[in-house]
Amino acid sequence: GENVEQHPSTLSVQEGDSAVIKCTYSDSASNYFPWYKQELGKRPQLIIDIRSNVGEKKDQRIAVTLNKTAKHFSLHITETQPEDSAVYFCAASREGNMLTFGGGTRLMVKP
Amino acid sequence: DAGITQSPRHKVTETGTPVTLRCHQTENHRYMYWYRQDPGHGLRLIHYSYGVKDTDKGEVSDGYSVSRSKTEDFLLTLESATSSQTSVYFCAISGQRSGNTIYFGEGSWLTVV
């Protein structure tokens, strides 16, 4: 089955700096890669996703890049703000199959 | 919120007692899932359903059973709760109406003492 590794497990940045979270996956047939943000005590919420037919996708301050050859994908947050502080999860699957999640990254943005 | 309601939201129960968590959805999504979330383990799939009376196991299904007698309801049962089942349980849905994206419910906090 699919295995997703996520790094780092914790990340601390100054407000205004960029943050990068990286994930690797094992199943070369995986073609759907979502990212979820989870605030303390809340549900995980989808913030961006990418499919294997594109290499990069942006949504305002958030971008995701995908390298299918190396089987890794990354979340980039620019101009970080205190409200970006949360736990972020990456996931991977073949379209229509079960998602496998990474272990999560706790992002702390210091004002 | 994708029309997902979980109940109860918080429960404390004793070891050995049965517990049922309910997930209710209002948007006729085909797929429903139960995940558990524990520190250091992220989100792990317990069971999922791909239609009424169609269910299958996830990666951490031991000690759990599920039922889906109606499209809108997916029940998770702990037959005899153990302390290792203390966790946060998230129901999730997906289907054509969600663009096959998974959306989560608000979670149920279960403590087994």
pLDDT by position in tens, chain A (length 111): 889 999 999 999 999 999 999 999 999 999 999 999 999 999 999 999 998 888 899 999 999 999 999 999 999 999 999 999 999 999 999 876 688 999 999 999 999
- Looking from the CA of A70 toward its CB, the CA atoms found within 13 Å total 10
SS3 call for B96? helix
Q: Minimal CA–CA distance to B3: which of B28, B35, B30?
A: B28
Bond preceding residue A111 cis, omega within 30 of 0? no
CB contact under 8 A, A102 and B42: yes
Q: Is the pLDDT of residue B99 over 70?
A: no
Cα angle at B48 between A52 and A73, to 5 degrees? 25
Q: Minimal CA–CA distance to A5: which of A95, A101, A86, A76?
A: A101
Q: Report chain B residues whose CB lies below 8 A from the CB of A99.
A: 45, 102
A44 contacts chain B (CB < 8 A): yes
* Nearest chain B CA: its distance from A14 CA (Å): 25
Q: How many CB pairs lie under 8 A apart between chains A and B? A: 39
User: Backbone phi, then psi, for B99, in 5-degree steps?
Assistant: 65, 25
Q: Minimal CA–CA distance to B87: which of B47, B34, B48, B49?
A: B34
Least CB–CB distance from A43: residue in B41, B48, B104: B104
Q: Report chain B residues whose CB lies below 8 A from the CB of A6.
A: 42
Q: Report pLDDT for A69.
A: 92
Q: For residue A48, what is the nearest residue in chain B, using CA coordinates?
A: B101
pLDDT band at residue B95 using 50, 70 and 90 as cut-offs: confident
Cα angle at B110 between B66 and A10, to 5 degrees? 105
